Amino acid sequence: MREYLLTLCITAAVTYLLTGPVRKFAIVAGAMPEIRARDVHREPTPRLGGIAMFFGLCAGLLVADHLTNLSEVFEKSNEPRALLSGAALIWLIGVLDDKFEIDALIKLGGQMIAAGVMVVQGLTILWIPLPGVGTVALTQWQGTLLTVALVVITINAVNFVDGLDGLAAGMVCIAAAAFFMYAYRIWYSYGIEAAAPASLFAAILMGMCLGFLPHNMHPARIFMGDSGSMLIGLVLAAGAISVTGQVDPDLMNLFSGSERNSVHQMVPVYIPLVMPLTIIAIPAADLILAIVRRTWKGQSPFAADRGHLHHRLLEIGHSHSRAVLIMYFFSALIAFGALAYSVNAASMWIVLSVVFLSAIGLVLLLLPRFTPRAPRWAEGFVPPRYRRRRAAVMASEEETAAPADEDEERVPVGAGVNGATAIGSRTRTR
C-alpha cells in the first residue's frame, strides 16, 4: 500500500507543478478558444491541461517501475507499456484538437486506433464471467471488438461530462478510488497478481486528477481539454479491461459450502461486469441521453448542445459549485455502493444505506436555492468565495441591522437581466 501511495503522490505532485507552466504555454500557443453558446464560463480560458496530466502519468509509471513490489507488474505483464502507448496516441490527438479543433469523426478514429494499439500489446478482454453460464472464453476478434467498444464508450462518456469546472476530474477521481479498492482487494484478498496492473492504473489516475483539480476548481484557471478528458477516460477504461478480462474467476476458489453461500461468494466474480458500468454510470447515462436527444431532433450525435445533466442542474437554479457537488455525490453513491455490495452481498444494511442516501440526494436536487455556508472553525479549509460571502453578509447585517438578501448582495442595483453575466465576469477576473 505504501508504494501505491508514493506513486499516487508523485503523480499528483508532477501534475500539479506542471499545470502552471502548461497554462502559460497554452496562452502563448493561442489554445484559448472563443466563448461558445454552450459554454458556461464567461472569459476565454486556456486548455491543454492534459499535457500536465500526461507527464504525471509518465512520472507515475516511471516511479512504479523502480519500486520493489510494483516493479514486478512491469516484469510479469506488458499492460503498463500498452497503456502508455495508447495514452500517448490519444493524448496527441487531444492536443491537436485543443489547438486546431479537429473533426469529431477523426477523433473517433483516433480513439479506435489507440484502443487497437493496446489490444495488440496484450491489454484486451480474454474472457467474461456470465451469471448462470460461467467463464466464457472469447475469440481474438470478440475480445478485440469488446475492448475497443469499452474504450471508446468510456472516453466519450468522460469527454461528454467535462462541462463544468472540476466536474470530470472529480468524478473520475471518485471512480478511480472505488476501482482501486476493488482491484486491491482482488489482489491481496484472493492472491491474484493479475489484478495488480489495474490497481496501479487506478492509483496513477487518482494522482492525475488530484494534481489537476486545484487548478480546475471553479473558477477554473485552465481546462483539461480533450487532451485531458480523453486521456483519463482511456486510463479508466484500461483498468476496467485489465480486471474484467485478465483476472480468471476460477482462481478465486469460491465454489464451496451451500448453494446460497456460493451465490453470495460469487458476487466478486460478477462485479467486474458491473463495476466498469457503475464508475461511469452518470457519464454514460449523459452520453446515451445526448445521442437520443440529438438524433430525435434530427441533429448529428456529435453536435454540441446545452442539454447535458450539468447544464440542466444550472437551469433549475443550482450554482456552479453546487451542481458539481451534486454530480460528485451521485457518482460516489453508485461507485462505492457497488463496491460495498461486492464485499458483502448478503447485508441488507448496504441496500438500505444506498436507498437512504439516494433520498438525501433527491432532496438536494429539490433545494437549488439553498446556499451552504462553512462554520467559523472551517473557514480556513473552504474556498475563499464562501468566506467572502459570509463576511459580506455579516458586514451588511451590522450596517443595516437586518438580514441581507444574498441575491441583492451579489447583483448590483440596476444590473437587470445582465446581472448574472456581470457576476460571472467578475468572479473569473484575476
Binding-site residues: 159, 226
Which residues, in sequence order, are CB contacts of 149 under 8 Å at separation 6+? Answer: none
**Annotation: binding site for Mg(2+):** 159, 226
Crossing angle for the helix pair 50-65 and 79-100, nearest 10 degrees? 170
Task: Map the chain to HEC letters.
Answer: CHHHHHHHHHHHHHHHHHHHHHHHHHHHHCCCCCCCCCCCCCCCCCCCCHHHHHHHHHHHHHHHHCCCCCHHHHHHCCHHHHHHHHHHHHHHHHHHHHHHCCCHHHHHHHHHHHHHHHHHCCCCCCEEEECCCEEEECCHHHHHHHHHHHHHHHHHHHHHHCCCCCHHHHHHHHHHHHHHHHHHHHHHHHCCHHHHHHHHHHHHHHHHHHHHHHHHCCCCCCCCHHHHHHHHHHHHHHHHHHHHHHCCHHHHCCCCCCHHHHHHHCHHHHHHHHHHHHCCHHHHHHHHHHHHHHHHCCCCCCCCCCCCHHHHHHHCCCCHHHHHHHHHHHHHHHHHHHHHHHHCCCCHHHHHHHHHHHHHHHHHHCCCCCCCCCCHHHHHHCCHHHHHHHHHHHHHHHHHCCCCCHHHHHCCCCCHHHHHHHHHHHHCCC
Torsion angle of C-alpha atoms 257, 258, 261, 265, degrees rounded to 10: 50
Which residues, in sequence order, are CB contacts of 319 under 8 Å at separation 6+? Answer: 371
CB-based contact 287:156 (threshold 8 Å) = yes
